[in-house]
Amino acid sequence: MTSAQAPAGRRVLSALTTGTPVYILLAALLAALALTDPGFYEPDRFLSFIKRAAPLVILAAGQYLVIVCGEFDLSVGAIVTAGVVVAAELYGSFPGAPWLLVTVILLLAGALAGLVSGLITTLLRVPSFITTLGMMLILEGAVFFWTGGSPHGALPAAFRRLGRGTAFGWLPWAVLVCVVAGLLAVRLMRSDFGRTLLATGDSERAASLAGVRVARARTIAFILSGAAAALAAVLVGGFSGVSAQAGRGYEFEAITAVVLGGVVLGGGRGSVVAAMAGAFSLQALFTLLNLQGVSGALESTVQGVIVIAAVALGAADWSRLRRRGTEPSGAKSS
């Protein structure tokens, strides 16, 4: 019943069917962008579009890992904010710190936040929605309590190169980072661990009976999500500099992206590529709305309608395919 146990052909089919709507949506949005703005596909503009999407794509990949094993991570936005502020604070105290060291510290700190969330969720059996909501409050509160409201330092150019600069003079580093992170995520989901994760989300009981260490798998998912959020923080901080609200709203955007990708909240189904495609779609939607100049205030209305409609479209397709018998019942729609 899980994709892991299904034969390969079926797995490919199921991966495609869960993802199809998002690819159609992405194609439609990219086509709309091309119509609106003929220059959109000039290499450097398209690359800069990917550069802008990179943090959300990375967040979506991390969020996917958590969602697919049946949990939520609402703390990613706070981790992004905290990451940017902590980096600036570090540079305030140690202006000469090498950027690689600061980046690694951030990734470790993000992983640590994820580890704590994961342990609380699995060991103390607190619903992850609450764990990560609490983590969000704690991180935001702690970081601003520590810095007294605003970070003391600015981010130097070396640290910001990942988010702002280009390699070879034309390829934004953020695009490279995004591609590498994406490949790693795909690789991860093809590994034994990926299958374990899917199995855990599909049926905790069955996975546990089959010898899967469910708690461990979930905790690792949280750690990876935290580290992904920290990586996004490096890109966001690099792209736009110090801000006290760098990550605001990212948690909902990441979850929306994952769900747009056809991943079922509650776990067990969906592909990481589709989740990342969901992130690209969302970014394409933002760009389109911005280019179209839909009256600023109504922008969020259009966004809301499109997100609901896209997910509904996915659900409709899916239920029809299910009736054809591709997949047994057990799907939870809410």
Partner 1 sequence: MTALRPDLKARSRTGPGRTAELRLTGPVAGVWLAALAVTGLGWIVVAARGGDFLTVTNVVTILQNCVALGLVAVGQSAVILTGSLDLSVAYLISLGTLVAAETMESGSVPVAILAVLALCAAVGLANGLIVTGLKVNAFIATLGTAFILRGWIEDNYTGPAGRVPASFQHLGYDRIGPVPVSLFLLLAVAAILWLVTRRSRLGHHMYATGGDEHAARLSGVRTRRTVITAHVLCSLCVGAAALFLAARLGAGAPWAGTEARYDLESIAAVVLGGTALAGGRGGVSGTLGGVLVLAVLDSVFNQLAVDPFFKNVVRGVVIIAAVALYARGRRTEQERTA
Partner 2 sequence: MSTRKIRHAFVPLAALLGAALLAGCTSDAPPDAPAGAASAAAGAPGTGRQSKFFDRAEYDRQLALAKESPQGPAGKPWEQMLRPQLVDTTQYKKKGSGGIHLCLSNAGVFNPWRQVGLKNMQAEAGLHKEITDFTVLDAQGKDDKQISDIQELAGQGCDVLIVSPNTTATLTPAVEQACGKVPVIVFDRGVETDCAVTFINPIGGYGYGAVAADFLVEKVKPKGKILALRISPGVDVLETRWSAAKVALDKSGLDVVDVKFTDGDPAKTKAIVTDAITRNGDIDGVWMDSGATSVAAVEAFEDAGKDVPPITGEDQQDFLQVWKEEKLTAIAPSYPTFQWRTPVIAALKILKGEQVPKEWKLPQPTVTQDTLDQYLKPGMPPLHYAMCGCENLPGFPEKWGGKK
Binding residues for partner 2 (CB under 8 A): 28, 32, 35-37, 39, 45, 48, 52, 55, 88, 92, 147-154, 164, 236, 239-246, 248-249, 286-299, 302, 305-306, 308-313, 315-317, 319-320
244 contacts which partner out of partner 1, partner 2, none, CB within 5 to 8 A by kind?
Answer: partner 2
SS3 155: coil
One-letter amino acid of 237: G
Contact track, partner 1, 27-46, x by CB under 8 A: --------------------
Residue 334 binding: pick among partner 2, partner 1, none (C-beta 5-8 Å cut-off by kind): partner 1
Tell me 264's DSSP state: P
Residues from 171 through 210 that contact partner 1 (CB under 8 A)? 204-205, 208
By CB under 8 A, is residue 112 in contact with partner 1? no
Binding mask 289-308 for partner 1 (x = CB under 8 A): ------xxxxxxxxxxx-xx
For the bound state, the minimum distance from the C-beta of residue 248 to partner 1, rounded and expressed in Å, comes to 12
Rounded distance between C-alpha atoms, residue 274 and residue 196, angstroms: 19
Amino acid at the residue 95: P
* d(C-alpha 253, C-alpha 303), whole Å: 11
Supply φ then ψ for residue 166, to 5 degrees: -130, 150
Closest by CA position to 332, among listed 256, 272, 261, 264:
264
Question: Which of the choices partner 1, partner 2, none does residue 293 contact, using the CB cut-off of 5 to 8 A by kind?
Answer: partner 2
- Alpha carbon distance 7, 199 (integer Å): 15
The number of beta carbons lying within 10 Å of the beta carbon of residue 192 is 8
Rounded distance, CA 194 to CA 177, Å? 21
Q: Which is nearer to partner 2, 146 or 187 (CB)?
A: 146
CA angle 23, 321, 255 (to 5 degrees): 45
Binding site for partner 1 (CB under 8 A): 74, 120, 122-127, 129-131, 133-138, 140-142, 144-145, 149, 204-205, 208, 214-215, 252, 255-256, 259, 264-265, 295-305, 307-308, 311-312, 315-316, 319, 329-330, 332-334
